[in-house]
Each structure stands twice: as C-alpha cells, then as structure tokens.
Amino acid sequence: MKYGYGRVSSSGQNLTAQIKQLQEAGCDTIFKEKVSGRKKEDREQFNILLETVQEDDTIVVGKLDRFARSTKDALNTIEYLNNKKVSLIVLNMGGDKIDTGTAIGKLMITVLSGIAEFEADMIRERQLEGIEEAKQRGVYKGRPKKYTKNNKGLQYAIELFQNRATNKLTVKEIEEITKISRATLYRVSKKWGEDV
C-alpha cells in the first residue's frame, strides 16, 4: 500500500498542490493536516499514519520538511519505519525511492534533514534580524493589542469584575457573559490600577 502525507503549517495555507502531487505519485490513501510540524505529538494525522503502515508499505511525501522538522526527528522516524520494513519516497528528490535501510540511504536523509533544519533556522534568524531592524527604525509595532481601554466589551467586563461584591457575579459567570478570560480580567484590572 502506498500512503501519502501532506502538511501545511497553518490553516491559512493550502494543501491542494501537495495532494495533487501525492495523487500523481499513485498514493492509495493520503493523510493530511494543517498544523505546525515543530512537535511530533501535535501532528495527529502523521502519528496515525505511522501506526497504520505495515511491512512493505511505502510513505510518500512532497518534501522532507513535511515529514520531519529536525534531523533527530527524521532519524528517529526512519528508524521506526525501518523496524516496520516501510519505505519512504521524497518527491522533491526526483521521486526516487530512498532505501532508508541502507547506509547510503540513511546518510542521504541525515544530510538532507540537516540542510532542511539549517534552512528553517536561517529563515527564523532572518525574521528576527528584520524585526530588530524594524524596531531600531521605530516602525515595528509588534502584535496588535487585542484589548485597549477603548474596547467597550472589555470595559463592561472590567466593570462587572470590579463590582463583584454588589452584582454577586462570580469570575466564572463574568467570563461566560463577556467571553473574556479570567487571566485577562485580573491582568487588565491590575494594569488599569484598580484594586482586585
């Protein structure tokens, strides 16, 4: 059986191109998800795929970074697949079957995983440099604040929160009414200089 695996990092990204590529590669079943690949435990569909595959099955991925986000992760997963006698095809490497059970196949994956991890680190480093440069120029604002003093919903929630003694509402009830979390109520009330 040939299984495909496609993943994008966020819900705003599209899986269509990856799914088409996997279908063209002859995958019988395709596992897909929209989730960051940083932590293996967050990739629910990927973990189901690993449990599903059996001896002589093949996993197909479009790119190595869809399969593993670090060299260590790649090697651990490959070792797991080797033990199950499952093959791996990475399409952006020409669609050749990488025999991860051989020394040369394992070396190729190690090198390519290292390069993919290095590339991801470089992208993060460039992002941080860009943010730092923007801060120095005074144009970086950071993430917009969700709540400001002009937010009527927050004002109402804080008013309810500060008048708990008279309105007889619990913090949980205020949370349910206003949809503003307990942590925000305490933090904002304290920040605005009110006694909590």
Q: What is the CA radius of gyration of the chain?
A: 24
Residue spans of beta strands (DSSP E) within 100-179: none
DSSP annotation of 101: T
Burial of 141 (0-12, 13-18, 19+ CB in 10 A): exposed
The residue with tokens 């197909």 is 60
Catalytic residue positions, numbered: 9
70-74: long-range contacts at Cβ-Cβ below 8 A with a sequence spacing of 24 or more?
Answer: 70/113, 70/117, 71/110, 71/113, 71/114, 71/117, 73/40, 73/113, 74/109, 74/110, 74/113
Structure tokens at 126: 């460039």
